[in-house]
Structure 1
Amino acid sequence: MSYLYWESVPTRWNDNDGYGHMNNVVHYEMMDTVANTWLIREAGFDPFHGETIGMCVASRCEYKAEARFPEVIRVGLRIGRLGTSSVRYEIGLHRADGETLIAHGDFTHVFVDRRTRRPVPITGRMREAMEKLVVAS
């Protein structure tokens, strides 16, 4: 899979579970962190004061290999679908080499008005930034 944006995320001591590997919930935390970091840095998203917020309406993850502390995970991000008010992020977690797949998944944000929680169109800088990450499935 080709990803157009990459972040390195170090594992933490408490990411390991009783089985000695990274707990499954940490994979979702990494995906969410990288997508929101990208939104803030590249798309001008303000999750704390902006008029719109992104609500997660669906998520999925498939696990391919174990990871554990101490390890740096390379997280790739792309957009598989960009709608009027929704976006589906596709995310891959890889070993530091950027090749060996640990897990891949996706989650969908619907952007809504902060007060009314009604869907709003993705426009302006955010839409322009998202269009740069769209890949054909």
Structure 2
Amino acid sequence: MSTPDRKTPTRADYVHWRTITTRWRDDDAYGHLNNATYYEYFDTAVNAYLFETTGVNVRKLPKIGIVAETSCRYLREIGFPEPVEAGLVVDKVGSSSVIYRIGLFQGPGEEAAAEGRFVHVYVDNTEHSRSGARGNEARRPVTPMPEEIREAVMPLWRQN
């Protein structure tokens, strides 16, 4: 089965920017950024944006975003010691979820070195949910998502 050709994302595809300092330990034995580190950068780009934009500790909201899905398209190698610029855009805002795209750039070029997809689903953040409940009592999606979050992500949403 062949994959349809997708255009390489460029800087123009993103709305918000964050510079991430690479660390020696981020590179793997092959001398480029370890694949797991890309996901750390995605998580940092999204959650730092939410903390800064809302002005609250998003971990303590009554409803919290948990990662329900994530993926990465690797387009070219990046690694230590140059910083990485993470571009952030929102593809969809639902009643209980947000779908982000994060582009990672290193150096002066316009094309992304990688692009991630990151889906937050908002769930109840009560003590009962954290007590190890399973099944219907575990952290289930809730609506609506916190208003602070909705207000923060709306400027990132590029509605088509």
Q: Normalised by the size of structure 1, how large is the TM-score?
A: 0.92
- Structure 2 counterpart of 1:129: 152
Worse-superposed segment, 123-132 or 87-96: 123-132
Within a 5 Å distance, the mapping from 1:82-97 to structure 2 comes to 82-97=93-108
Q: Is the 8 A contact 1:59 1:106 kept in 2?
A: yes
Unaligned runs of 5+ in 2: 1-8, 130-138
Output the CA distance in 2 between the equivalents of 1:98 and 1:35: 23
The amino acid of 2:76's aligned partner reads A
Identity in percent? 40
Larger Rg: 2
- The structure with the greater share of residues assigned to helix is 2
- Structure 1 unaligned regions, length at least 5: none
CA distance in 2, matches of 1:54, 1:113: 9
Task: Please report the TM-score for the alignment, with normalisation by the length of structure 2.
Answer: 0.79
Structure (1/2) with the larger strand percentage: 1
CA RMSD between the two structures:
1.6
After the TM superposition, which parts of structure 1 deviate over 3 Å for at least 4 consecutive aligned residues?
none
Provide the rounded CA distance (Å) in 1 between the counterparts of 2:36 and 2:146: 32
Alpha-carbon separation, structure 2, partners of 1:87 and 1:16: 30
Asked whether the 8 Å contact 2:86–2:104 carries over to 1, the reply is yes
Alignment of 1:1-137 (within 5 A): 1=9, 2-97=13-108, 99-115=110-126, 116=129, 117-120=139-142, 121-136=144-159
For these two proteins, the number of residue pairs brought into alignment is: 137
